[in-house]
Amino acid sequence: MDHRSPRFKQVASTGLLLLAAIIWGLCFVAQRSAMEYIGPFLFNGVRLMLATAALSVILLIILGIRRMRRPACKQHSNIKVSYIIKVSLLCGIILFVASNTQQIGLVTVTASKAAFITALYIVLVPVVGLFLKQKTRWNTWVSVGVAVAGLYLLCVSSSFTLALGDIILIVCALFWAFHILAVGHYAPLITLLQLFGMCTLQFAIAGILSLVCAPLADQSFVSAPLTFDAVTKVAPELLYAGLLSTGGAFTLAAVAQRHAKPTPAAIVMSTESVFGLLGGMFLLGETMSAREGVGCFLMLVAVLLTQWEFKRAAPS
């Protein structure tokens, strides 16, 4: 398969999105356990600034290599910088709301239920996309329904009731849908290097906003003290969430969305729930019920269905 062909790029994008989903799935454990020692805004503020620092170093290295090989075009760069800043500001604000509503929801909602509600962005992405006049193939709508059924079987094991934490997570899912659509719209319009810059800036914006809110709002959700000692207690969780889940997985997803449509991308990313469960089985010795096994199978079917190309037969 030619690496320049659209089909190869689509398959490669799916692979990157699946890798991001694996990292995100394992991060649910870190996010949930960290709430015993640290508030949601402080947790996200630190993780996002860690991601900003890591990507900044990578970006500087790339820029240094490019400058040695070829002098940058100053005029072209100046034109693009203002555009990148505007896009980063938009994506950063959306990321700030999405990540913090998710973290607040995890204070009171179980991880499995939170995973299901959050992953509802797979439904919200095509619904919101309709208002943006985006075309969605019929098999994508079918895969959305299959994925929702799979997520329900996978994550919801008891009676489903709607509490305040659930409502907060529904808001979170809506903003994740906004973020997927925003990145899916802007990523194909800029170069890969500019995309790295956009990711770095959006993390910085969301991180700064989170740190500003931490002393004002964290005590409303948890009783953990706002101290450096509290941060050190969750250092492993912060390093994983900051460097791998945020800096690594979000960047992988953004790169993949340069060649993937928003709705199929959302469905692939929603498999984070599956990988979260599998991680619990292999790392924590948890077991999988038959119901959860069926849920995993339906999620896999949904992902494969989004990648299947249905073509009408040519008229005879």
Tens-place pLDDT, residues 258-315: 877 777 787 788 778 777 777 666 765 666 678 777 877 887 777 667 656 555 444 4
Burial of 70 (0-12, 13-18, 19+ CB in 10 A): exposed
Sign of the CA dihedral running 38, 44, 47, 52: negative
266: tokens are 């959302």
Higher pLDDT pick, 160 / 183:
183
**Tell me, what amino acid is at 276?**
G
Please provide residue 288's backbone torsions phi and psi, each rounded to the nearest 5 degrees: -110, 130
Residue 78: pLDDT band with limits 50, 70, 90:
very low
- Given a contact cutoff of 8 angstroms between Cβ atoms, the answer to whether 259 and 253 are in contact is no
Q: How far apart are CA 105 and CA 209, in angstroms?
A: 18
Is 57 in contact with 289 (CB distance < 8 Å)?
A: no
Cα gap 132→206, rounded to integer Å? 25
The structure tokens 């995890």 sit at: 106
- Check residue 79 and give its pLDDT: 45
In this structure, what token pair is assigned to residue 281?
């089985």
* pLDDT confidence of residue 313: 46
The position carrying tokens 């199929």 is 264
DSSP 308: -
Count Cβ neighbours within 10 Å for each residue of 138-175 and write b for 16 or more, e otherwise. eebeebbebbbbbbebbbbeeeeeeeebbebbbbbbbb
pLDDT at 77: 47
Are the C-beta atoms of residues 269 and 120 closer than 8 Å to each other? Answer: no
**Contact yes or no for 273/25 (Cβ under 8 A):** yes
C-beta separation of 49 from 300 below 8 A: no
> Alpha-carbon distance 123 to 133, whole Å?
16
Mean pLDDT (the chain) is 80
Q: Which of 86-100, 128-142, 277-291 has the highest mean pLDDT?
A: 86-100
**Whole-structure pTM value:** 0.78
170 touches 97 (CB < 8 A): no
Indicate whether 217 pLDDT > 50.
yes
The backbone torsions φ and ψ at residue 310, rounded to the nearest 5 degrees and listed phi first, read: -95, 125
